[in-house]
Amino acid sequence: MTEIWLVRHGQTDWNLEGRLQGQLDVPLNETGLKQAQSLAETLRGKPFSAIYSSDLMRARQTAEIIARVVNLPITFDKRLREISQGQVEGMLFSDVIQKFEGALADRTRNPVESRLPGGESVAELAERFRDCVDEISRQKYTRPVLLIAHGLAIATILCQARGYPMETVYSHIQENATAEVIEWNPPA
């Protein structure tokens, strides 16, 4: 059993604008940098074994700020990226509603298996992310592990760890630069 601290990256301008970031490489804004530094200070002195992070810039910047404070190296892993939003990445959500109304209606009816055009389903994201968390847990760390990633990606593992129905995944997206703690036991 591994204690994992799931950290969502700090704020980006696209978070504020309502743009779908997906796997596009968007940096933290000034607020996001301050949020990451504030979170890092709350983590100071806590005994962590390792830091794992998505390789996307917003997660990478958050991880680097935290790593300087907790004095650990970072392992970057593409499996910790956010869901691929396909053709709608970079679009305002209000525009997606107008141009992809059918795909969004399908996502409402079937949030786990549906996908936006050219994108990935929540089920695929959950499997990709879980595989990485399983691999991390098999390292048999004796102290907690920090994992810095993205809202929906983290929500998939929260659902799995806490027994929430995956259909409720969108209601478990945490705020920017906050941590959720889970206990994870990978399958044998």
The single residue of 64, 82, 120, 175 carrying the catalytic annotation is 82
From 9, 120, 150, 180, active-site residue: 9
Span between the terminal Cα atoms of the chain, in Å: 11
Whether 82 is catalytic is: yes
Closest CA to 25 of 71, 64, 57, 62: 57
Kindly report the CA angle at 170 between 61 and 118, in degrees rounded to 5? 75
Q: Are 48 and 36 in contact (CB under 8 A)?
A: no
Cα(79)–Cα(94) distance, integer angstroms: 28
**Residue 9 annotated to the active site:** yes
Q: Is residue 179 within 8 Å of 11, Cβ to Cβ?
A: no
Please list the active-site residues.
Answer: 9, 82
